[in-house]
Every structure is written in structure tokens, then in C-alpha cells.
Amino acid sequence: MSTAAPAAKRDRTHYLYIAVIVAVGLGIAVGILLPEVGKELKPLGTGFVNLIKMMISPIIFCTIALGVGSVAKAAKVGRVGGLAIGYFLIMSTVALVIGLVVGNILQPGTGLHLTPEIAEKGQGQIAKSEGTVEFLLGIIPKTLVSAFTEGEVLQTLLVALLAGFALQKLGTKGEPIRRGIEHIQRLVFRILAMIMWAAPVGAFGAIAAVVGETGWKALQSLAVIMLGFYITCALFVFVVLGLIIGLLARVNIFKLLKYLGREFLLILSTSSSESALPRLIAKMEHAGVSKPVVGITVPTGYSFNLDGTAIYLTMASIFIADALDKPLTIGEQISLLVFMIIASKGAAGVTGAGLATLAGGLSSHRPELVDGVGFIVGIDRFMSEARALTNFAGNAVATVLIGTWTNEIDREQLDRTLNGESPFDEATLLDENASESTTESGMKET
């Protein structure tokens, strides 16, 4: 009975994925064969982006307000929670920096010239940008609710942070409010899921317009950012995470990933690392990591350790800016990185949340770039698998590392498991128990 609902959800997502692929193919065909018609279809992509923009403020408020609460809860459990949060923040920052570096090296959007406004307009807007004092004062909204009505992302972020800290100060008295925000979050994510069914239409219009305007050059640029993203994720997992777990925990990254092979296939078929969350908990416990460490690290990691998403957000931001001939300055890239570190914490496990976070980051720094999100709607679904796989690998590595640092891991059992001497018994996986524990401790934030 318990597996029927998830199966239906996976099927629906699969249909959406197929629809996006078909829409992208049709958009490319229209753009090449009927370029003038393709240009006229741009409003379809713009309309979809506007729907995403509509959801930015409520998504950021709900996820950050609840996320601050989960950080405080995790920190209360002591050493394990503190190590987990510190490690996740560091690795997310590293992933964001890697995304910025690779994006600046590849510069896949350079030369597309997707708008008639060339560099002068971008340079003029940079020159007219506010000073530091004006910028900081602009973060403070006129009223508590004006940030939502005016769509100011940084103001929404400030209100969300204040609300989250206030909820913690209220203690048990704040529980009804927190539950209310959780209900609002469910409503917001349900609306977002409904909007995502318009993704095929948005992808069709956006791709047709881009290809109609630039021809094959657009396809080459989209291919470059996709391949660059895949390669960057692979290097991050096998080189960065591989070195860290090898040096600090004496574990072979290839053996760990092989042990989790079935989970990677599950993620690949659903485009969501959330689908394998209960199995990751069960397999990490079987591998010798203690239940308290697994129970704290895995759910917290699903909300705060989004390495693949971090790489995607930064590379996509640079691609959009370059494609519109309005490149981001180094200062803007750094401030965008800081924003993404905070805002990306709410982009886990929800279809479309990554696009909303990307739009929110661009809106907070360079609002004129937000419409460029439509250019990558078509390839976002193709990149979601790499994001999910990278996020999952990062959480698995984090669990082993924190278990090692806290001496809450059975090294003999870990070695036997990774060497294939103690295989995982699928019959011992209790989905009911796993789903209950993860829903209470981690799924609310995703």
C-alpha cells in the first residue's frame, strides 16, 4: 500500500520529462526551419519564466524560515549536528566556487548576443548601480509584508531569516506558527508542481526563439554548458570528494559509489535524490555508521548539502549573463555566491525549486537577467539527473566522514560491506520506518 503513491508520482514526473524533451526537439526544428516563427514564440518562454518569478518570494520565505529552525535543531544534538552543518556549509561553498571558476573558463554564453542591447547597456547599468550604503539600506523592506508584494528577493530573505530566528526564540509557543508555515510551504510547492507542467510549453517557446535568433550557435552553447556541467560534477565527486574521503576516512570513493549503485539507478530514473533517501539511511546503517549519526546527517544533508545544485546555479548564472551580453562582474559573482549559499538550502527535492532559486539570485543582483532563465528551461531537465546524483554522492560521503570524525562507525563492518563480504539484505529495508523518520527530521525542509 505504501509504495503505490510514490510510484504514481514517479510516473507523472516521467511523462513531464518526456514532454520537455519532445518540446525541445520541436522548438529546435521550428527555430531552424521557420526562424521568424520561432522568434514570435518568445512570449511562451517569457510567460513560463513569469510564473516561476511569481513563486520566488513565497518559496524563499518558507524554505529559509523552516531551514533556520532545522539548523538550530541539528545544532542542539551536539557534536554531530555541529560537524554536519559546518561540513555542509564548507562543501556547498566549495561547489559554488568551482561552478564560478568553470563557468568563467568555459564562458558558454559568450557570442550568442540574444538581445539587441550590447555591452554598452550592461556597462551603463553597472555604472549606475547603487553604492554599498544604499544597497544595504535597500535590503530593509518598508513593511513586513512589502517584500512579498514588491518581489524584492533580498528583502524576503531578510524577513525569512528574522522569522526563523524568532520562531526559535519562541520555543514551544512557536510550534503552531511553524506548522502553519509548513502547511503554506506544502501549498506553495503544490502550486510550483502545477506550474512545472507548463515547462514543455515554456521550453518550446524559449528554445524556438533562441534558435530562430541565433541558429546553430545556440545549440552549440547549450551543449557546451551541459557537457561542462556534467564534467564538473564528475570531477567534483571523483576528485574533490574522492580525495576528502580517501584522506580523512581512508575509504575508496569508487567502492562506496558501487555499494550505492542501485540507489544511483533509482535517482537516474526519477531525477530526484529524494527518492533514495530512505534507502540511503538503511544502507549507511548497514555499512556500520551509527543510527544517531545517520539520522542527523542524512536528513540535514538533503536540505543543506546540495553540491550539484550549487554548481548548476553558478554556471547557469554566468551562462545567462554572457548570453545576454551583460556579464557579471567579479564583485557581482561573489555577492551572488553568498546569496546562493543561503538560498540554495531550500532547493532540495522539489521539481522547479532550482529554477526558482536561480531566478531569485539573478533578480536580487541583476533583475534584467531574470528573463534569461527561459533560455535554459529546455536543458534544465537534462541537467537535473547530474544535480541529483552529485547531491546524493555528497550526502553519502558526508555520512561516512562525520561517522569517522565522531568515532561512531564500525570500521570492520564498513570494510566488509564495501568489499562485498557483507551485502545489504533488501528484505531488511523497512520503508515505513525509514519514511517516518525522514519525514519528521528532513523531508519538511525539502
**CATH code (residue 146):** 1.10.3860
In-domain check, residue 142: yes
Average the pLDDT over each of 122-136, 262-276, 329-343 and give the range with the smallest value: 122-136
Is the predicted pLDDT of residue 17 greater than 80, yes or no?
no
Query: Read out DSSP for 361-409?
Result: HHHHH-GGGGGGGGGGHHHHHHHHHHHHHHHHHHHHHHHHHHHHHTT-B
In-domain check, residue 57: yes
Look at 151 and 242; give whichever has higher pLDDT.
242
In-domain check, residue 297: yes
Q: How confident is the model at residue 396 (pLDDT cuts 50, 70, 90)?
A: very high
Look at 49 and 142; give whichever has higher pLDDT.
142
User: 376: domain range?
Assistant: 19-445
- Residue whose grid cell is 533578480: 363
At residue 252, φ and ψ (nearest 5 deg) are -80, 120
The stretch 31-51 carries a mean pLDDT of 81
In-domain check, residue 13: no
Look at 323 and 355; give whichever has higher pLDDT.
323
* 338-395 pLDDT per residue, tens: 777 776 655 554 555 667 778 777 877 777 787 777 777 667 766 777 888 898 999 9
In-domain check, residue 52: yes
* 159-195 pLDDT per residue, tens: 888 888 888 788 788 888 888 988 998 888 888 778 8
In-domain check, residue 6: no
pTM of the model: 0.66
Q: Side-chain half-sphere of 197: how many Cα atoms within 13 Å?
A: 7
**Mean model confidence pLDDT for the chain:** 75
CA-based end-to-end distance of the chain: 23
Give the 3-state secondary structure percentages of the chain, helix then strand then coil, rounded to 5: 85, 0, 15
Q: Which amino acid is at 372?
A: G
> Number of folded domains in the chain?
1
**Whether the Cβ atoms of residue 82 and residue 235 lie closer than 8 Å to each other:** no
Q: In whole angstroms, what is the distance from residue 199 CA to residue 391 CA? A: 23
Task: Say what the pLDDT of residue 12 is.
Answer: 60
* 42-73 pLDDT per residue, tens: 788 778 777 877 877 787 788 778 767 665 66
Question: Which of 409, 91, 417, 421 minimizes the C-alpha distance to 256?
Answer: 417
The stretch 213-217 carries a mean pLDDT of 70
**Whether the Cβ atoms of residue 343 and residue 157 lie closer than 8 Å to each other:** yes
Region of 153 on the Ramachandran plot (φ > 0 left; ψ -120 to 50 alpha; else beta): alpha
